[in-house]
Amino acid sequence: MATSEVILEETPYLNLSTRGRRTGLSRSVELWFVFEDGKLFFLAHEDSDWWKNVKKTPRVEVEVGEILFEGNGSLAMQKLEHVFKLFRLKYGDYQVNRWYGGQRSNRRVVTVELGKVLGKRPSERMRPIELAA
């Protein structure tokens, strides 16, 4: 298993950057997610702006840990029950019920197929120490 796959399976949340559907500006949101078969899956509330941005402009950037990926997003409503099951396995029944309230009819499944790695940010440990003058 590649290092990036291990990170995607073990990391509890990531940052998803989309292009604003009205403004065209970059928007970033921190989200829970699951990773399966090379794809990321998210549960979005029907009123969330980020999935509406993905629907209009599918190209996204995903920052997980120190790695930045490009990706293409889409809606995948037929996977709603399956994605809820994956979320319960990763986060537990209590957390999923707490954050998603079991209101499956008000959720959208957004999937992101990952593309190439765009870069890697240096970790906090690797950044130079600034010395006081």
Which of 73, 79, 77, 76 minimizes the C-alpha distance to 14?
Answer: 73
Q: What are 18-53's pLDDT values in tens digits?
A: 999 999 999 999 999 999 998 999 999 888 999 999
Residue spans of the domains in the chain: they are 3-120
Q: What are 79-127's pLDDT values in tens digits?
A: 899 999 999 999 999 999 888 875 555 888 999 999 988 887 655 444 4
Specify the CATH architecture of the domain 3-120: Roll (2.30)
CA–CA distance, 54 with 52 (Å, rounded to integer): 5
Burial class (CB in 10 A: 0-12, 13-18, 19+), 83: buried
Give the predicted TM-score (pTM) of the model.
Answer: 0.83
